[in-house]
């Protein structure tokens, strides 16, 4: 009952606070609300040329406006797929272009990572937060969301001033997209820690160890009220006998203590004790509207108690006192008013009402509080013209700058959100211009100018794009040279663009994207040679595969085109590549394969527009469904089991998409979808599915589990464990036990912890679930048994998992055979996995451990061909070369992979090789880059400390 009453009190206080500002007579200009008409077209889509747009404008307009009802009506007509799609034609190489990536991209990531690490180790406290933000921008370019979030948390941890705390806390919240949680409030403190707590962000001061503690707003409201009541009792004591001056306002006299009023500020002290006439008078007139009677009484009380009457003063009176404090330079009273008003702002309406007052009265905390509300409402607040007016204009930035709120961090966050919402909008342009004005360091300017160039390129303002790309190059962002070349090409200067790209290759260590860019400006065999070189240097670039595939289509080699695009889809799933493969399948009239890819594509990008932005993916799904066998929900479950057991993740995604179409909002299916997306390394889409699963949960204990997975996947392990425990306390379920076991197992387990994880997994297996999840639990249980050296129990788990078609258990069973010195059995077990699994790069990699060197090299070569992002094959080949005393070749093998994937293990191994060769300088550099990725990696730290000593000795000699 006490808890319930506390909740009621909280709700009542929130309701009261949210309406406090509504009664104030503020300027009408703050009350308007207008939404920007943003372009909703997916920026990833290709666009046809103007001639094509004119030719098919009628058809395009019809398709763009398709909804469910119009889909049904069109399907009722006799429209064939060929008749619908023939006007759009086959994909053409003329329409393909690689994107200029709109983020900070280093020409040498190892050097950049090492430099950031050195700065982090040597910079002052005030500079640390910005150094972590630079690190964050590097990780953005590496597409490492886990590292990026860690850098953001570190930047918030070391933030010194309130503005940085407010922005970074809102940014962390945005990264989890908690705005999409049903029933959530933007001012909730997220994971319950100080690091994301909005109230804690407004507290001045610096304590990096405090941010991971539970936030203070977790105190019950009864505790807060009792503290405030005691303070009120203390404040109510008066010194009536000392009243010796009166301030007259109208017919009212406010009795005050002259000395106390004089202590509020030097100007008041001069007024009451200086050469002014007022110093001789017992009655002083305030007849010119400086302050109201109520306001002056509050000033008198503050002069004695140094506190504001929290429960009796309206915001209007506090604003009067704030204005009075500013007029007479009463800094202590101004700070109290500032804090009081800042605590009252709790929604967008409040923020818009009072932020102008905060700016006029120079109330730092009040403005910070308003900004915090607006930032924590992103991306919704991005569409409010009144809100954007506060940020976008030059004059608006200058006003914020005077207050200390126009920071680079603020505009970095705002422009990032704007680019995700609509990269072509005027809002995006203005925010990036403000970002450039706030930039002081070279990396900041390079980022801002480069992003402006990318936006102008998207808007087809090529002269402006070239200007900004060149500005970025001038401050050291070499990657922007690709933007310069592209802009010149778009302006008709193809040869100049070719020379620009060629100069880039000759002046710097060649990278894949350099050859990719130059390929646009040449033709025939020369273009294909550049694209092949790009793939050789960086096999993760999608564009060369796409171009080669479309070239094959133009030669009427559709099967070969599908095989080519399969190469990139096998390890890097993107909507554009899935679209191409679906397009090819339609040409072959393999509508089932096309439907599979379009369903998977729509799982990644629900609003994706195909055929150069002319056809919505959902429309094609409805059209293609008429030409394939229809499945019931029971059939779908059987299909899902088949694809799951064959490790066909894209096929599984497609089946889940169909099941959700039949049963929208099914949280269990949405959760399965998120697991598949994580396996495909599509983290953004996976988080969206998890949030949808959470929102559609039918019970409290289920919702807690999904919130726990969201927390775990965004790096909040302890909070995830708390969610799992709370869910179990409500109802014992498979997923709650599994989440808790999974999170606990994510550390080095001792015997006692391993035993507890085993117990949790056994409890999970006792709870109802389907075979897909129980197979995963049995597989995990087997892994823990192996770590505990209980090989027979582990084998039993793996066999049980295989009996319910959890194919990945072959790998665990192979490990058991290997540990029992049954190497042939281990090899055979992995061969079974290779034969069953469609996605089998990891199986080849693992099988290499159970055979001789020549066979291992063959398996690892196959693993690299299937998935060049897997780092173990490079490390193995480099180690073999090192054993054969081929040091240069060993270094080259690692360097080849590091060029497109700066990985911790790769960097550590190369550093160790450099150390064995006596090259301490290179060793230090690689160690610093590795420690930038993981500052707690003990082996690298040990190697680094040794190398630093060697480097210092060389320097001294």
Q: Does residue 335 lie in a domain region?
A: yes
Residues 255 and 331 occupy one common structural domain: yes
Domain tally for the chain? 2
Mean pLDDT along residues 857-875: 96
Residues 175 and 269 occupy one common structural domain: no
Is 636 a residue whose pLDDT tops 90? yes
Residues 255 and 181 occupy one common structural domain: no
Query: Which DSSP string do the residues of 898-952 spell out, in sequence order?
Result: HTT---HHHHHHHHHHHHHTT-HHHHHHHHHHHHHH-TT-HHHHHHHHHHHHHHH
The conformation of residue 515, written as its DSSP 8-state character, comes to: H
7 or 256: which leads in pLDDT? 256
Per residue in 88-101, pLDDT (tens digit) is 667 788 889 999 99
Neighbours of 155 (CB within 10 A): 25
Q: What is the reported pLDDT for 212?
A: 75
Residues 208 and 270 occupy one common structural domain: no
Least confident of 109-123, 384-398, 427-441, 906-920: 384-398
Q: Does residue 267 lie in a domain region?
A: yes
Domain finish residue from 329, 344, 359: 344
Would you say 419 and 451 are in contact if contact means Cβ atoms under 8 Å apart?
A: yes
Residues 168 and 258 occupy one common structural domain: no
Q: Give the Cα separation of 672 and 676 in Å (integer).
A: 6
Residue 285 sits in which domain range?
A: 245-344
Write out the H or E segment, with its range, that includes residue 280. Answer: none
Residues 142 and 208 occupy one common structural domain: yes
243 or 353: which leads in pLDDT? 353
Per residue in 872-900, pLDDT (tens digit) is 999 999 999 999 999 999 999 999 999 99
Q: Does residue 249 lie in a domain region?
A: yes
Residues 207 and 276 occupy one common structural domain: no
Per residue in 100-111, pLDDT (tens digit) is 999 999 999 999
Q: What is the reported pLDDT for 778?
A: 97
Estimate to the nearest angstrom the gap between the alpha carbon of 934 and the chain centroid: 19
Q: Does residue 383 lie in a domain region?
A: no
Task: Quote the mean pLDDT of the chain.
Answer: 86
Q: What is the reported pLDDT for 88?
A: 65
Backbone angles phi, psi at 616, to 5 degrees: -75, 140
Residues 254 and 205 occupy one common structural domain: no
Per residue in 686-706, pLDDT (tens digit) is 999 999 999 999 999 999 999
Q: Give the Cα separation of 843 and 809 in Å (integer).
A: 11
Mean pLDDT along residues 513-522: 97
Is 47 a residue whose pLDDT tops 70? no
Is 83 a residue whose pLDDT tops 50? yes
Predicted structure pTM score:
0.85
Query: Which DSSP string do the residues of 396-434 spell out, in sequence order?
Result: HHHHHHHHT---HHHHHHHHHHHHHH-TTSHHHHHHHHH
727 or 662: which leads in pLDDT? 727
Residues 211 and 251 occupy one common structural domain: no
Q: Does residue 787 lie in a domain region?
A: no
Mean pLDDT along residues 299-327: 85
Residues in Cβ contact with 338 at an 8 Å cutoff, skipping those fewer than 6 apart: 322, 363, 364, 365, 366
Backbone angles phi, psi at 273, to 5 degrees: -130, 0
- Comparing CA positions, the residue from 862, 831, 823 lying closest to residue 845 is 862
Backbone angles phi, psi at 675, to 5 degrees: -65, -40
Residue 58: pLDDT band by 50, 70, 90 thresholds? Answer: very low
Q: What is the reported pLDDT for 178?
A: 64
Domain finish residue from 292, 317, 344: 344
Residues 289 and 330 occupy one common structural domain: yes
Is 21 a residue whose pLDDT tops 90? no
Mean pLDDT along residues 775-780: 95
Q: What is the reported pLDDT for 727?
A: 97
Would you say 60 and 584 are in contact if contact means Cβ atoms under 8 Å apart?
A: no
Mean pLDDT along residues 172-190: 74
Domain finish residue from 344, 375, 408: 344
Per residue in 332-354, pLDDT (tens digit) is 999 999 999 998 898 899 899 89
Q: Does residue 162 lie in a domain region?
A: yes
Is 48 a residue whose pLDDT tops 50? no
Residues 113 and 211 occupy one common structural domain: yes
Q: Does residue 93 lie in a domain region?
A: no
Q: Does residue 13 lie in a domain region?
A: no
Residues 251 and 158 occupy one common structural domain: no
Least confident of 72-81, 349-358, 557-566, 920-929: 72-81
* CATH for 300: 3.30.710.10
Q: What is the reported pLDDT for 813?
A: 97
């Amino acid at each position: 009952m006490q808890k319930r009453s506390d909740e009621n009190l909280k709700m009542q206080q929130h309701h009261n606070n949210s309406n406090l500002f509504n009664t104030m007579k503020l300027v009408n200009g703050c009350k308007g609300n207008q939404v920007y008409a943003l372009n909703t077209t997916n920026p990833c889509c290709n666009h046809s040329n103007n001639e094509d747009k004119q030719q098919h404008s009628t058809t395009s307009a019809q398709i763009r406006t398709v909804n469910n009802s119009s889909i049904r009506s069109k399907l009722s007509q006799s429209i064939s797929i060929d008749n619908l799609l023939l006007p759009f034609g086959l994909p053409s190489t003329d329409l393909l272009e690689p994107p200029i990536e709109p983020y900070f991209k280093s020409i040498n990531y190892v050097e950049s990572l090492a430099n950031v690490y050195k700065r982090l180790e040597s910079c002052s406290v005030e500079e640390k937060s910005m150094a972590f933000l630079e690190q964050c921008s590097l990780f953005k370019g590496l597409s490492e969301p886990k590292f990026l979030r860690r850098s953001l948390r570190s930047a918030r941890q070391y933030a010194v001033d309130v503005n940085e705390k407010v922005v970074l806390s809102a940014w962390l919240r945005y990264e989890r997209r908690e705005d999409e949680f049903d029933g959530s409030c933007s001012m909730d403190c997220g994971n319950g820690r100080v690091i994301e707590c909005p109230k804690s962000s407004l507290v001045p001061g610096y304590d990096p160890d405090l941010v991971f503690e539970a936030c203070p707003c977790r105190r019950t409201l009864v505790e807060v009220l009792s503290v405030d009541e005691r303070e009120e009792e203390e404040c109510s004591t008066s010194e009536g006998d000392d009243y010796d001056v009166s301030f007259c306002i109208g017919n009212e006299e406010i009795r005050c203590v002259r000395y106390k009023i004089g202590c509020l500020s030097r100007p008041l002290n001069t007024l009451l004790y200086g050469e002014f006439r007022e110093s001789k008078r017992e009655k002083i007139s305030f007849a010119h509207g400086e302050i109201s009677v109520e306001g002056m009484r509050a000033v008198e009380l503050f002069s004695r108690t140094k506190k504001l009457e929290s429960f009796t003063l309206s915001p209007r009176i506090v604003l009067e006192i704030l204005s009075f404090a500013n007029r007479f330079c009463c800094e202590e009273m101004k700070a109290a008013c500032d804090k009081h008003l800042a605590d009252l702002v709790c929604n967008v309406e409040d923020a818009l009402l009072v932020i102008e007052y905060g700016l006029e009265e120079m109330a730092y905390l009040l403005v910070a509080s308003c900004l915090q509300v607006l930032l924590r409402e992103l991306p919704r607040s991005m569409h409010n013209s009144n809100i954007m007016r506060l940020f976008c204009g030059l004059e608006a930035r200058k006003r914020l700058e005077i207050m200390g709120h126009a920071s680079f961090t603020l505009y970095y966050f705002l422009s990032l959100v704007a680019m995700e919402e609509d990269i072509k909008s005027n809002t995006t342009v203005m925010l990036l211009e403000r970002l450039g004005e706030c930039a002081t360091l070279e990396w900041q300017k390079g980022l801002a100018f480069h992003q402006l160039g990318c936006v102008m390129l998207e808007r087809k303002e090529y002269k402006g794009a070239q200007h900004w790309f060149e500005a970025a190059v001038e401050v050291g962002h070499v990657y922007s040279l690709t933007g310069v070349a592209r802009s010149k090409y778009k302006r008709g200067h193809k040869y100049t663009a070719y020379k620009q790209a060629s100069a880039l290759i000759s002046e710097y260590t060649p990278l894949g994207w350099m050859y990719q860019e130059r390929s646009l400006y040449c033709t025939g065999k020369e273009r294909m040679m550049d694209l092949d070189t790009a793939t050789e240097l960086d096999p993760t670039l999608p564009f060369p595969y796409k171009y080669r595939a479309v070239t094959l289509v133009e030669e009427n080699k559709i099967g070969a085109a599908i095989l080519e695009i399969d190469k990139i889809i096998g390890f890097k799933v993107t909507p554009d590549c899935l679209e191409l493969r679906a397009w090819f399948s339609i040409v072959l009239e393999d509508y089932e394969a096309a439907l599979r890819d379009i369903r998977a594509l729509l799982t990644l990008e629900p609003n994706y527009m195909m055929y150069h932005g002319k056809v919505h993916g959902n429309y094609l799904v409805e059209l293609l469904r008429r030409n394939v066998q229809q499945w019931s929900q029971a059939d779908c479950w059987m299909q899902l089991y088949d694809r799951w057991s064959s490790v066909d993740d894209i096929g599984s995604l497609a089946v889940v998409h169909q099941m959700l179409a039949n049963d929208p909002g099914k949280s269990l299916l949405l959760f399965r979808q998120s697991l598949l997306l994580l396996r495909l390394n599509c983290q953004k889409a996976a988080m969206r599915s998890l949030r949808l699963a959470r929102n559609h949960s039918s019970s409290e204990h289920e919702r807690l589990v999904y919130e726990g997975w969201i927390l775990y996947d965004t790096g909040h392990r302890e909070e995830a464990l708390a969610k799992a425990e709370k869910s179990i306390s409500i109802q014992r379920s498979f997923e709650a036990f599994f989440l808790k076991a999974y999170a606990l197992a994510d550390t080095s387990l001792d015997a006692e912890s391993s035993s507890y994880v085993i117990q949790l997994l056994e409890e999970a297996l006792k709870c109802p679930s389907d075979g897909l999840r129980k197979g995963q639990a049995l597989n995990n249980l087997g892994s823990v048994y192996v770590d505990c050296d209980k090989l027979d129990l582990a084998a039993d788990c793996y066999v049980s998992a295989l009996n319910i078609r959890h194919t990945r258990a072959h790998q665990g069973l192979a490990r058991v055979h290997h540990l029992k010195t049954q190497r042939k059995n281990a090899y055979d077990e992995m061969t079974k996995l290779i034969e069953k699994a469609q996605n089998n790069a990891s199986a080849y990699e693992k099988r290499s451990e159970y055979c001789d060197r020549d066979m291992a090299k063959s398996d690892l070569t196959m693993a690299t061909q299937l998935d060049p992002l897997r780092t173990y094959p490079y490390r193995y080949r480099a180690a073999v070369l090192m054993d054969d005393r081929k040091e240069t070749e060993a270094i080259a093998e690692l360097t080849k992979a590091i060029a497109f994937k700066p990985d911790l293990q790769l960097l550590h191994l190369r550093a160790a090789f450099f150390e064995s060769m006596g090259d301490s300088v290179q060793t230090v550099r690689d160690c610093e880059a590795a420690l930038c990725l993981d500052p707690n990696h003990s082996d690298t730290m040990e190697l680094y400390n040794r190398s630093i000593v060697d480097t210092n000795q060389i320097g001294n000699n």
